Structure 1
Amino acid sequence: MSTRVDGANRAVLTLLGLALLAAGVLGLVLSLGGFGTDLAASPVLPDQLSRLAADTSWFWPVVAAACLVIALLGLRWLLAQLRTDRVTRLDLTQDPRDGLTTLHAGALIDAVEDEAGALRGVTGASAHLRGEDHPRLDLTVDLSDRADVAEIRAQLEELVIPHLRQAADAPDLAVDIVLRPGKGRSTRRDLT
């Protein structure tokens, strides 16, 4: 998932959670007599709405249809959260008549993370391979406060990325590198 989608999910879930919490607290305070005993003893639905529900045959089917639409939208959202574009294996087969050659993405990612993490000034590295048809590697490198950003970027471009492309037998493999020097700052470089 992209950062934009993750942020939208967090925002929507936070707003929905706050709205449900507010409704629950309001209902609890109302039922305990926080707004007076008359309101605490009154029915949940006003008399007009109760009569409408009892007198019209279409009321409850419309309510059921609305609930079904909400449930289907929720299911669609849940299934979208489970979908991912992460790659688990790369097919390195040149000619299918010669057999099948696959490379586990986890091994490739571990090698990239280890090689990038071993550079002087790097405090951590994480990589993710995504995209089935056109694979792309996302590499995030955390740097120490005193790291030489230009030197580390050059080493990534001249050593780590060529090793990755050679191992994956993909000279055109796109790589997105995010350098995070210290805390709070970010430098993004797109190598295509």
Structure 2
Amino acid sequence: MLRTVNRVLTALVGLVLLALGLAVLFAGLDLPRRWNVAMPSGWPWTRPRDVVLSDAERTRWTDEGWWWPVALAVLAVLFLLCVWWLLAQLRRQRLDEVLIDSRDGEGATLRARAMENVIAAEAESQPGVDRARVALTGRRRQPRARIGLVLTAHAEPGPAVHRLRREAIGHAVTSAGLESLPAEVRMRAARHRAERVS
């Protein structure tokens, strides 16, 4: 849900900025006069000689030598942050499919969700693991796994990670014909509610 809202807000901000840019371009090319279009009253840009900032606005800080370099630097940083944020929104976090070597020169695809479920089920079957969540990221030919383990109260993290690497991840690498499957494992202890003893 948050991802959808995030993308909708990004699209709305982009549309507003695009509309403002087109309005300035529209006035800059003198299209209202050429096409005989009446602009709304109070519209700031109607002729090619209209400027985004008036002389009074531009000269307001002329006595301050630091103002324009700081303003331009802030705008440049803001622009770079917006571009980075937009690219982060467009980039997919999870894989849809994994390319596997079928040993016939053709190759095949495997649904990433199926591979995630198998790794999680095998991890949960290990002693000391209460729950497991797996997400595949990266590229289709070189997937990476993010694994979250919830360990039982008396589980030892070291052996749990070794078993996970040897069994669940090792079996996934072998069955999918991958060269490797780098994994980031995050662990936490299971929380149990205290029970009242009478």
TM-score (norm: length of structure 1) = 0.51
Q: Which residues of structure 1 form unaligned runs of 5+?
A: 1-52, 184-192
Instruction: Report deviation, 1:106.
Output: 0.8
Distance, in Å, in 2 between the alignment partners of 1:59 and 1:105 is: 59
Instruction: Report deviation, 1:99.
Output: 3.6
Q: Give the corresponding residue for 1:56.
A: 56
Distance 1:55 1:159, change over 3 A: closer
Distance, in Å, in 2 between the alignment partners of 1:70 and 1:127 is: 36
* Corresponding residue pairs, total: 127
Query: What residue identity is the alignment partner of 2:185?
Result: I
RMSD of Structure 2 on Structure 1 (CA) = 3.5
Query: What residue identity is the alignment partner of 1:164?
Result: A
Instruction: Report deviation, 1:69.
Output: 6.7
Find runs of 4+ consecutive structure 1 residues off by over 6 angstroms. Answer: 68-71
Q: Give the corresponding residue for 2:133.
A: 126
Distance 1:177 1:99, change over 3 A: same
Q: Give the corresponding residue for 2:17.
A: none
Q: Give the corresponding residue for 1:106.
A: 113
- Bigger helix fraction: 1
Q: Give the corresponding residue for 1:37.
A: none
Partner SS for 1:56:
helix
Q: Give the corresponding residue for 2:176.
A: 168
* 1:157 to 2:165 alignment: yes
Q: What percentage of residue pairs aligned between the two structures are identical?
A: 23
Query: What residue identity is the alignment partner of 1:172?
Result: S
Query: Equivalent residues in 2 for 1:31-110 (5 A)?
Result: 56=56, 58=58, 72=79, 75-82=82-89, 83-93=91-101, 98-110=105-117
Partner SS for 1:115:
helix
TM-score (norm: length of structure 2) = 0.50
Distance, in Å, in 1 between the alignment partners of 2:57 and 2:166 is: 73
Distance 1:75 1:150, change over 3 A: closer
Instruction: Report deviation, 1:109.
Output: 0.6
Distance, in Å, in 2 between the alignment partners of 1:174 and 1:70 is: 34
Contact 1:149 1:181 in 2 (8 A): no
Distance 1:113 1:69, change over 3 A: same
Q: Give the corresponding residue for 2:39.
A: none
Contact 1:140 1:178 in 2 (8 A): yes
Contact 2:149 2:186 in 1 (8 A): yes
Q: Which residues of structure 2 form unaligned runs of 5+?
A: 1-52, 61-67, 192-198
Instruction: Report deviation, 1:88.
Output: 1.7
Distance, in Å, in 2 between the alignment partners of 1:59 and 1:94 is: 69
Distance 1:73 1:166, change over 3 A: same
Instruction: Report deviation, 1:172.
Output: 2.2
Distance 1:127 1:69, change over 3 A: same
Partner SS for 1:172:
coil
Query: What residue identity is the alignment partner of 1:56?
Result: A
Distance 1:55 1:172, change over 3 A: closer
Distance, in Å, in 2 between the alignment partners of 1:144 and 1:99 is: 43
Instruction: Report deviation, 1:156.
Output: 1.2
